[in-house]
Amino acid sequence: MASFPNVVVLDHPLVQHKLTRLRQVTTSTAGFRRLTREISLLMAYEATRDLKLEPVEIETPLEPMTATMLSGKKLCFVSILRAGNGILDGMLDLVPAARVGHIGLYRDPDTLEPVEYYIKLPDDLSERFCIVVDPMLATGHSAVVAVTKLKQAGAKQIAFVCLLSVPEGLATFTEAHPDVKVITAAIDRELDEHGYIRPGLGDAGDRLFGTK
């Protein structure tokens, strides 16, 4: 397998355990949503590892002290619709004050290229760390377009978080955006002829929303 220096695979036992349950065909829609939310919260810890801190003076019940808090304007989560919302929910559990953006893309079934149908982003992206979320990094085309849109809107600090990825998608994405860290729970074997990740977990959007 090719090496991707800017890709972090989260091998934490809880992440891997929940991912295995997520993959199983017998997992219900409710179970899939719950597991996605739980994994996303755990992945948010890694995604926010490099946030800047600043010293603040506080009072504990016993004495004053110098402690640390997040510095300046903080986070923007950007969901690639519709399946990205499954990861967004878990991350907002951890950082409820984060700003949220949405980029609507669907994959043309014939060309496998992304088609944009909606975009709504906060105004101050240049001052925030933007974390783009989508369950799958398959062909990589949607992720490339989404991050390009963010950069065009002024974003300077960006990370991409997904449950599953494949070498083909990682190669496409890292070539287009070598400055953007990818955080994933697994790198699967390959894409099939329809652009689905193998072994994968099926269509994440359909499994999240019960549409198939």
183 is in an annotated binding site: no
141 is in an annotated binding site: yes
What pLDDT score was predicted for residue 8?
Answer: 95
Residue partners of 82: CB distance under 8 A and separation at least 6: 104, 205, 209
What residues are annotated to the active site?
Answer: 107, 111, 203, 206
Which contiguous run of DSSP H or E holds residue 9? Answer: strand 7-9
Q: Please report the DSSP string for 150-185 in residue order.
A: HHHTT--EEEEEEEEE-HHHHHHHHHH-TTSEEEEE
194 is in an annotated binding site: no
Q: 7-50+73-209: which CATH topology?
A: Rossmann fold (3.40.50)
Q: Please name every residue paired with 183 in a beta bridge, in sequence order, or none if there are none.
A: 8, 161
Question: 157: how many CB neighbours lie within 10 A of its CB?
Answer: 20
- Token look-up 């996605």 returns 36
pTM reported for the whole predicted model: 0.90
Question: For the ranges 2-16, 18-32, 84-98, 105-119, which has the lowest average pLDDT?
Answer: 105-119
Confirm if 205 and 31 have CB atoms less than 8 A apart.
no
Average pLDDT of every residue of the chain:
91
Q: Please report the DSSP string for 50-81 in residue order.
A: T--EEEEEEE-SS-EEEEEEE-SS-EEEEEEE
Can you tell me the distance from the alpha carbon of 28 to that of 45, in angstroms, rounded to the nearest whole number?
A: 26
Q: Which parts of 94-156 are beta strand (E)?
A: 99-107, 114-120, 129-133, 136-137
- Token look-up 């959007």 returns 205
Can you tell me the distance from the alpha carbon of 37 to that of 136, in angstroms, rounded to the nearest whole number?
A: 15
What pLDDT score was predicted for residue 2?
Answer: 62
134 is in an annotated binding site: yes
207 is in an annotated binding site: no
- Is the pLDDT at 1 greater than 60? The verdict is no
198 is in an annotated binding site: no
- Is the pLDDT at 197 greater than 80? The verdict is yes
Distances from the Cα of 137 to the Cα of 84, 112, 141, 204, 212, angstroms = 11, 13, 8, 11, 21
Q: What is the pLDDT of residues 62-96, one digit of tens each?
A: 999 999 998 866 899 999 988 899 999 899 998 89
